[in-house]
Amino acid sequence: MEKDLSPTLLDFGPLQIYLARHFGFCYGVENAIEIAFKTIEENPGRRIFLLSEMIHNPQVNADLLSHGVKFLQDTYGNHLISFGELKPDDIVLIPAFGTTLEIEKKLNEIGIHTEKYNTTCPFVEKVWNRSEVIAKENYTIIIHGKPKHEETRATFSHASTHSPSVIVRDMQQAKELAKYITGEKPASSFSEEFKDQHSKNFDPEKDLQRIGVVNQTTMLASDTQAIADFLKQTMIGKYDLIDKNIEEHFADTRDTLCYATNDNQSAVIKMLETKADLAIVVGGYNSSNTSHLVELCEEKFPTYFINDEEKIISSNEILHYNFHSKEELPTRAFLPSKEPVKILITSGASCPDALVEGVIRKLVSFFPVTRKTEELIENFK
Ligand code: SF4
């Protein structure tokens, strides 16, 4: 049966909120938070560290910090606390994105065993398994992902133990990679161009003859599809392939997006059919899946990316994040002077629902609404 992806209308009279059918917390994030808090509860007196942000949400991470948990690294892998300060009795939580084999090894050498405190999402592990399967069939692994993102670094680390691997950030990089496949670019410039994005001793002449694509679980579905299609066409052109023998050079696998990314993106695509005035996306500013929801909304509506209701300063001003320029900017008169005002709302996989509720309550406070929020919420219980 086809899923109903139409948004839910919360009709407050002069304000109409269209809430995406799927939004917010995913299984992997809930699981990670649960393990983290259980670890704190069960281990009084022991030092507990997080390898890096548990998830890309400032409120959740602040909550963990307030319980005495400390971060070992920032999101980009820079050390905040040296591994040298760790003792065998310390607990180190592995975040939902997973981690690299190198870091796991370092922790094990100190005497810290991470198995019990590993919150790596099973959907991320699924990508690692897929990479292993592709590698066993002697394909080089192309990872579509953000090169500095924890999850992509972890996937790259796992993939590259099995097979030559290279990360492509976007279509532009995929096009450059294709030039090494076709021979348009000399192999000698590969290392520099894909610096920090390819496995050791990668030989573009030999290692790009047979490829398979996997991706970071939170990329934009259409981007990954376009990149895989483009690389497939490149292989078809280079080796004169037909349907029957395409797998000699291209592993025809489906994308490795997780269910939450798929559901949240599909729900936004459906929600965009609504005739609305603007869209608000709630989530952490460094959250990959949230930024893709913003990207989708921006194609059709003025879109405001905020991390909590405090960013809605007044009915006349909103402070929102521009993820292209990576800065927070104020916009005045963001609410149109008309009735009803129609607003689309969604949130990323690492965003607690309470934040979305806070945003709705703040918006409602600007209008002479006739129906109480509780009354509407009651309808959905
Ligand atoms: S976004 Fe997907 S892969 Fe990431 S933690 Fe959530 S369910 Fe897992």
Strand order in the sheet with 312-314: 312-314, 317-322, 327-332
Q: What is the pLDDT of residue 41?
A: 95
In the prediction, which pLDDT does 381 show? 55
Secondary structure string (H, E, C) spanning the chain: CCCCCCCEEEECCCEEEEECCCCCCCHHHHHHHHHHHHHHHHCCCCCEEECCCCCCCHHHHHHHHHCCCEECECCCCCECCCHHHCCCCCEEEECCCCCCHHHHHHHHHHCCCCHHHECCCHHHHHHHHHHHHHHHCCCEEEEECCCCCHHHHHHHHHHHCCCCEEEECCHHHHHHHHHHHHCCCCHHHHHHHCCCCECCCCCHHHHCCCEEEEECCCCCHHHHHHHHHHHHHHHHHHHCCCHHHHHHCEECCCCCCCHHHHHHHHHHHHHCCCCCCEEEEECCCCCHHHHHHHHHHHCCCCEEEECCHHHEEECCEEEEEECCCCEEEEEECCCCCCCCEEEEEEECCCCCHHHHHHHHHHHHCCCCCCCCHHHHHHHCC
Ligand 1 neighbours (beta carbon < 6 A): 26-29, 96, 121, 123-124, 217-218, 258, 260-261, 289, 349
Q: What is the pLDDT of residues 17-58, one digit of tens each?
A: 999 999 998 999 899 999 999 999 999 999 999 998 878 888
Predicted local distance difference test score (pLDDT) of residue 253: 78
Residue 58: predicted pLDDT: 84
Nearest CA to ligand 1 atom 8: 28
Shortest-distance Cα residue to atom 7 of ligand 1: 28
Instruction: Give the strand pairing for 317-322 and 312-314.
Output: antiparallel
What does the pLDDT look like over 236-279, one tens digit per residue?
A: 999 999 988 999 999 977 778 888 898 999 999 999 999 999 99
Q: pLDDT digit of tens for each residue in the chain (381 aa)?
A: 457 899 999 999 999 999 999 999 899 989 999 999 999 999 999 999 999 887 888 888 899 999 999 999 988 888 999 999 999 999 999 999 999 999 999 999 999 998 889 999 999 999 999 999 999 999 999 999 999 999 999 999 999 999 999 999 999 999 999 999 999 999 999 999 999 999 999 999 999 999 999 999 999 988 999 999 999 999 999 999 998 899 999 997 777 888 889 899 999 999 999 999 999 999 999 899 999 999 999 999 999 999 999 999 999 999 999 999 999 999 999 999 999 999 999 999 989 999 999 999 999 999 988 766 667 666 665
Considering the candidates 104, 150, 151, 309, report the single residue annotated as catalytic. Answer: 151
Q: Are strands 8-11 and 15-19 parallel, antiparallel or unpaired?
A: antiparallel
Ligand 1: which of 22, 23, 27, 351 to mutate, most ligand atoms within 8 Å of CB?
27
Rounded distance between C-alpha atoms, residue 316 and residue 159, angstroms:
49
Query: Coil, strand or helix: which one is 10?
Result: strand
Q: Which residue has the tokens 């670094």?
A: 153
Task: Tell me if residue 205 is catalytic.
Answer: no
Nearest-atom index, ligand 1, CA of 55: 5
DSSP state of 372: -
Between strands 15-19 and 341-347, the pairing is parallel
* Ligand 1 geometric centre to CA of 219 (Å): 11
Gap from CA of 262 to ligand 1 centroid (Å): 10
